Amino acid sequence: MQSHNSLEGWSSPSRFRRLITGLSIGAFLVFIAGGPSFTTAQEKKQAATATNSSGNATSARGKYIVTEVAKCGNCHTPRMQNGELDYSRWLAGGPVPYLPAQPQGDWPLLCPRIGGLPPANDAQMITLLTTGIWTTGKPLRSPMPEFHMTRADAEAVLAYLKSITSGRGATQ
């Protein structure tokens, strides 16, 4: 009895080659059709990683400026009873730790919280750090130094300050 199979007469290796060729062409077409989406997804992932790395580097630079250059924690971090900085409340604000040698009527008694959510919006904080001018249009009172940072340094400081979360201590 003769078979009516359409593959009749094809050898097994020939059938296998045609199957592989067909699958290869199909895979190639799927790759070509999906390629832009795949590339876009990869590019987005790389861009996000680069942005995150850049953000981490910026925040690290800000931490260096805050902790090692400006020494913000000396005034803006509350102290424990023994006088040591309370790192569990890093940059949470607190009493000014010293008084002026000559009494001044406008000497502040409290330093504001600057960690987590700084006391002004981003643009105002950048202005303060680059010009020494506060939201009132006037320089801050002593003992706050009038910083004149570069914009990049001010942005790094702001990134670090905003990265601080309440209750998380910081160590130098």
Query: Which residue bears the tokens 């009172």?
Result: 141
pLDDT score recorded for residue 19: 57
At 102-161, the pLDDT tens digits run: 888 888 999 999 999 899 999 999 999 999 999 999 998 889 988 899 999 999 999 999
Nearest to 67 by CA among 172, 152, 139: 172
Specify the long-range contacts of residues 154-158, CB closer than 8 Å, at least 24 apart: 154/125, 154/126, 154/129, 154/130, 155/58, 155/62, 155/126, 156/58, 156/59, 156/61, 156/62, 156/65, 157/62, 157/65, 157/66, 157/70, 157/129, 158/62, 158/118, 158/122, 158/125, 158/126, 158/129
**Cα separation, 45 vs 19, whole angstroms:** 36
Burial class (CB in 10 A: 0-12, 13-18, 19+), 127: middle
Q: In the chain, what are the domain boundaries?
A: 14-100+108-172
At 71-117, the pLDDT tens digits run: 999 999 999 999 999 999 999 999 998 888 888 888 899 999 999 98
Q: What is the DSSP secondary structure assignment for residue 124, as one 8-state letter?
A: H
pLDDT score recorded for residue 49: 44
Q: What is the pTM for the complete model shown? A: 0.64
At 29-69, the pLDDT tens digits run: 444 445 444 444 454 454 444 445 556 888 899 999 999 99
pLDDT score recorded for residue 23: 59
pLDDT score recorded for residue 106: 86
